[in-house]
């Protein structure tokens, strides 16, 4: 069959081609514009129309999605993928000459002796390396920029589609930077209204994000309300904030337990040590974690170092992020509580120049992360891929560059790749490791391919040439047989 006859939308335009530069596949600007217009209508209706987390938390289809199936796999489709090399995410080994049989949106069979049924669409990736779709467990599809609600929705969709095109078939959005439009985006993708990655979302974080002093733009106002209307100033109020967030449809709760300034001193002390002003007490974080777990949510924590970092680890948050000041005691605590570690690199790469300037070359957050990463790796702490992708400075679609740093900092290429698969899937809510994270029968057909062998050159993951999500081909630069 020809490439055009495959159950695919290869070349289907994304909103990113309008908002974030030209797409890498051929696009139709009018179709992209129509998709954008549709989003403005769909975002308001998606939450009511989409049953967002069916099948043990996995995205389901609603009545509306059955009418709009251009990005969902037909249940009766049969696709066979000939894989020259297949990465086994569980063992880290590369298998040769495998066949992946896809029925509908799921993998039916995998192996070297799979019989291809008559009439199946055959995708020939015999000269390629085939891997599971990657998982990025720390993105921000919205930025902190001030935008209208409609533009924020457009940017969120564009960034999500850029990530999918780069091979990240699942993302965890770690704070929508105000509001809950990521819930609507997740539900619209699940309903088949738009192409996009599988998503779990935080929505809006529930405590103050204090990177810098909050400027009072209404000078007559003094302590009229809580910053960003977020009040978690006691364990009971913290529990109430978790329950309120759940009503908005989120999958995760996000907290920030370190602040980056004290008075006029921002980020770095005069001795080039990092400022780590704790923002919550142990009792408050304990209450947040307990309440979230009680009602079926997981908790992510932004923490750089010091007391705020230790509070998160002691409370047993599900996704400790950054941990630049991780020490031996912190490592022991993570192992004791069986916590994963999400060491974001891309966001710190963007901050490296400023950090070195402000410390006179004596220190940077990237240098601190390398030390923490090596310490956690040597101790056997499970590592989970998360990039921090959010903006032009920390771009979506480029985050596979982190694999090279993982290898540089002591991992084998296989270990680096594995961070974006089963460890990440296990960390996600709803037991998603039963549905994604490896190419196994019964799981969703989330599959990517690259030309070379990433066990020889891990930067191959920065050049993904084939993406399938749920049995639908998003991009295919290899063609069909």
Cα–Cα distance for residue pair 390/202, rounded to 1 Å = 14
DSSP state of 307: H
Nearest to 171 by CA among 149, 128, 208, 138: 138
- Position 261 scores a pLDDT of 86
Asked if pLDDT for residue 69 goes beyond 60, the answer is: no
Asked if pLDDT for residue 54 goes beyond 50, the answer is: no
Cα–Cα distance for residue pair 72/383, rounded to 1 Å = 32
- Position 95 scores a pLDDT of 98
Tokens of 84: 């020259």
427, part of any domain: yes
- Position 333 scores a pLDDT of 97
The number of domains in the chain is 1
Asked if pLDDT for residue 115 goes beyond 50, the answer is: yes
- Position 208 scores a pLDDT of 65
Please report which confidence band the pLDDT of residue 311 belongs to, taking 50, 70 and 90 as the band edges. very high
Asked if pLDDT for residue 465 goes beyond 50, the answer is: yes
Question: In terms of pLDDT, which residue wins out, 301 or 232?
Answer: 301
- Position 49 scores a pLDDT of 42
Asked if pLDDT for residue 60 goes beyond 70, the answer is: no
Cα–Cα distance for residue pair 280/197, rounded to 1 Å = 33
30, part of any domain: no
Asked if pLDDT for residue 263 goes beyond 60, the answer is: yes
167, part of any domain: yes
Least confident of 33-47, 126-140, 150-164, 364-378: 33-47
Cα–Cα distance for residue pair 474/141, rounded to 1 Å = 19
19, part of any domain: no
DSSP-derived pairing of the beta strands 472-476 and 466-469? antiparallel
Please report which confidence band the pLDDT of residue 218 belongs to, taking 50, 70 and 90 as the band edges. low
- Average pLDDT, integer, range 199-226: 66
Residue ranges making up the domain that contains 148: 134-434
Non-local (6+) Cβ contacts of 63 within 8 A are: 49
Burial category of 118 from C-beta neighbours within 10 Å (exposed 0-12, middle 13-18, buried 19 and up):
exposed
Q: CB neighbours (10 Å) of residue 419?
A: 25
- Average pLDDT, integer, range 101-106: 98
Residue bearing tokens 């920390």:
394
235, part of any domain: yes
Tokens of 358: 């402000």
Non-local (6+) Cβ contacts of 43 within 8 A are: 153, 181, 184, 185, 188
Least confident of 184-198, 205-219, 247-261, 329-343: 205-219
Q: CB neighbours (10 Å) of residue 264?
A: 6
Burial category of 27 from C-beta neighbours within 10 Å (exposed 0-12, middle 13-18, buried 19 and up):
middle
- Average pLDDT, integer, range 299-306: 96
Share of the chain above pLDDT 90, in %: 72
- Average pLDDT, integer, range 25-29: 36
CA 476 to chain centre: 22
Question: In terms of pLDDT, which residue wins out, 199 or 60?
Answer: 199
Residue bearing tokens 């192409």:
195
440, part of any domain: no
Nearest to 137 by CA among 351, 476, 373, 436: 436
329, part of any domain: yes
Q: Is the backbone of residue 179 left (phi > 0), alpha (psi -120 to 50) or beta?
A: left
9, part of any domain: no
Nearest to 174 by CA among 148, 141, 209: 141
Non-local (6+) Cβ contacts of 164 within 8 A are: 195, 196, 197, 467, 469, 474
Tell me the pLDDT tens digit for each residue of 33-42: 334 444 444 4
Cα–Cα distance for residue pair 201/175, rounded to 1 Å = 7
Per DSSP, the three-state class of 94 is strand
Non-local (6+) Cβ contacts of 177 within 8 A are: 140, 142, 143, 144, 204
Q: What is the CATH number of the domain that holds 371?
A: 3.20.20.140
Tell me the pLDDT tens digit for each residue of 137-175: 999 998 777 788 889 899 999 999 999 999 999 999 998
């Amino acid at each position: 069959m020809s490439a055009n006859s495959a159950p695919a939308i290869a070349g289907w335009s994304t909103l990113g081609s309008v908002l974030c530069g030209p797409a890498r596949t051929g696009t139709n600007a009018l179709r992209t514009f129509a998709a954008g217009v549709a989003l403005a209508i769909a975002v308001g209706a998606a939450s009511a129309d989409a049953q967002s987390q069916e099948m043990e938390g996995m995205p389901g289809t609603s009545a509306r999605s059955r009418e709009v199936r251009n990005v969902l796999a037909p249940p009766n489709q049969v696709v066979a993928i000939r894989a020259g090399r297949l990465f086994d995410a569980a063992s880290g080994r590369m298998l040769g000459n495998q066949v992946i049989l896809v029925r509908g949106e799921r993998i039916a069979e995998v192996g070297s002796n799979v019989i291809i049924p008559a009439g199946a669409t055959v995708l020939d990736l015999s000269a390629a390396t085939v891997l599971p779709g990657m998982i990025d467990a720390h993105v921000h599809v919205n930025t902190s920029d001030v935008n209208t609600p409609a533009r924020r929705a457009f940017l969120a969709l564009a960034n999500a589609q850029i990530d999918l095109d780069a091979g990240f078939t699942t993302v965890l959005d770690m704070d929508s930077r105000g509001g809950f439009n990521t819930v609507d985006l997740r539900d619209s993708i699940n309903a088949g209204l738009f192409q996009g990655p599988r998503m779990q979302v935080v929505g809006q974080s529930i405590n103050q994000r204090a990177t810098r002093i909050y400027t009072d733009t209404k000078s007559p106002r003094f302590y009229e309300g809580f910053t960003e209307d977020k009040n978690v100033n006691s364990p009971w109020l913290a529990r109430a904030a978790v329950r309120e967030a759940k009503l908005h449809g989120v999958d995760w709760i996000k907290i920030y337990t370190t602040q980056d300034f004290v008075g006029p001193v921002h980020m770095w002390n005069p001795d080039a040590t990092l400022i780590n002003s704790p923002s919550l007490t142990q009792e408050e974080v304990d209450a947040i974690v307990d309440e979230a777990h009680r009602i079926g949510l997981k908790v992510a924590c932004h923490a750089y170092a010091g007391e705020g970092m230790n509070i998160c680890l002691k409370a047993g948050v599900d996704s400790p992020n950054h941990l630049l000041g991780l020490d031996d005691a912190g490592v022991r605590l993570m192992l004791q509580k069986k916590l994963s570690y999400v060491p974001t690199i891309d966001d710190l790469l963007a901050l490296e120049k400023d950090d070195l300037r402000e410390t006179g070359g004596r220190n940077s957050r990237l240098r601190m992360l390398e030390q923490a990463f090596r310490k956690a790796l040597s101790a056997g702490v499970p590592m989970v891929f998360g990039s921090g992708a959010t903006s032009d400075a920390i771009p979506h679609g480029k985050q596979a560059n982190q694999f090279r740093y993982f290898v540089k900092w002591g991992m084998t290429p296989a270990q680096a790749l594995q961070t974006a698969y089963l460890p990440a899937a296990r960390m996600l809510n709803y037991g998603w490791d039963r549905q994604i994270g490896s190419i196994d029968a019964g799981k969703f057909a989330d599959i990517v391919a690259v030309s070379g062998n990433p066990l020889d050159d891990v930067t191959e993951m920065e050049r993904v040439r084939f993406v399938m999500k749920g049995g639908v081909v998003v991009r295919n630069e290899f063609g069909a047989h």
